[in-house]
Structure 1
Amino acid sequence: MNLKNSWAHIGPVLAVGTLCVVLTPSISAQVQTETETTHGKATHDVQVERGEVVMVSGNDLIVKKDDGQIVHIPNVPESARVNVDGKQLSVHELQPGMKLQRTITTTTTPQTVTTTQNVTGTVWHVTPPTSVILRLEDGTNQQFTIPRGQKFMINGRETDARDLRRGMTITATRIVEEPMTVVTHQREVTGTMPPPPPAPPANTPILIVVSRPTPAPAAAAEAEAPAKLPKTGSIVPSIGLLGIVFLGASFGLTMFRKLRAVA
């Protein structure tokens, strides 16, 4: 606790209308603290981001967002999971073409933390009507500011700080209300498998492939060998024809010589 002004700015410092004053100085000082939190109406802000898986390499993920922006997400944690058609998939199970959607829900909740402290001490010194010094349990003295118009109950009689005397044991109540805001973020990533390839139109002709058996090597060699003519004649007719040619040539030369001699 700070001296003099430690509690002056937060409401009643010494018990409001119920301050108990005991004339027995032997009661030891003590501090009791109670805290209560009151929640206000929470507000929610939802952001949705969509994209398509382009590539997965180890723990690195590349996603193309709907606006065409390419986003590189390095070192995706092993614990990260994507809900795809009811299955929890890790980054290694993602496939190019998958559609991803990340939903970020930000919840803002106003809270008021009310802290109530009851301080019991023995009056060490009083400066009416502004302050009083109490001796606390640890043997130290602490000065407290008395709010304007503060009343005290002493032996069933309402009075002010002027009737406080050294050695009286009193209980003071301190109430602090501290407003604060709690912000939480919840992230959820879902996805869908890439769509199957489109079926061909109904009027598209269907190509049917028929396999033909491969011929055996021997049969193939036999089929590829050139055909041979049958042996139907001999060389004797050719020799006879050649003799007739020579004989004709000799007869022609003899006639030529005779005609030349007559001339």
Structure 2
Amino acid sequence: MTKLTATSLFSGALMALALSGPTQAMDLTELTDAERVQFRAEVRAYLMENPQVIMEAVSQLQAKEAEAQAQADFTLVSDNADAIFNDGYSFVGGNPDGDITIVEFMDYRCGYCKKAFTEVEKLINGDGNIRFIVKELPILGEQSMIASRFAIATKLVAGDEGYKSVHDALMSFNGDITPTSLGRLAESFGLDADAITEKMDSAEVTEEIAQTRALAQILSISGTPTFVMQDELLRGYLPYDQMKAILEEKRG
């Protein structure tokens, strides 16, 4: 929620008071000290009698700031479209030829990412015409980094199918992420755990994570999950119904 300073509230109150009565010229800089005290008293009395004015001013300010943020996000997506939608290394799932692309910046240790996982899967599988891109953004500590390195290494060693299996399993995994638990996970899918482990600290894996982090910084992404749907940044968890409604709106 937007935090308003006493100065901004007072300025808004002055404007509200000025607009509440007959229009007349007023230069506050020319008021005497006594007139200023009296005017402030009148403003206070007006606001005490009409407290809804403050909430109306706050609501209007928040709406304007939300509109400005949406426009800024639209520009960010447009200016960085290639890096977002066609970076050449991020996993692409769903329908690669889908009419709308959804990109998710995620972290395997993020509770809201885990909550969103089943709903995003439901949206993609139920629609059948969504191109889905996963951006590995480990920001929640060492275990997040280990998990992302393992997932990316799996993609490099075992391809997209292996990555998808590991990614889905990690999104549902609630224990400690350790080399041992990851090795067992790889083996459960018939993957070469030793080859994946050896690849985890490679330059390719490090570079992919670094590039995704750099892109997240450019897009002012500070938390996960963050989605890009078509031309819009969606910051934070969204329930299935809301995501579906946005998707339908994009399609017109």
TM-score (norm 1): 0.21
Whichever of the two has the greater Rg, that structure is 1
Larger relative contact order, structure 1 or 2 (CA cutoff 8 Å, min sep 6): 1
Q: Which has the higher helix share?
A: 2
Q: Which has the higher strand share?
A: 1
TM-score (norm 2): 0.21
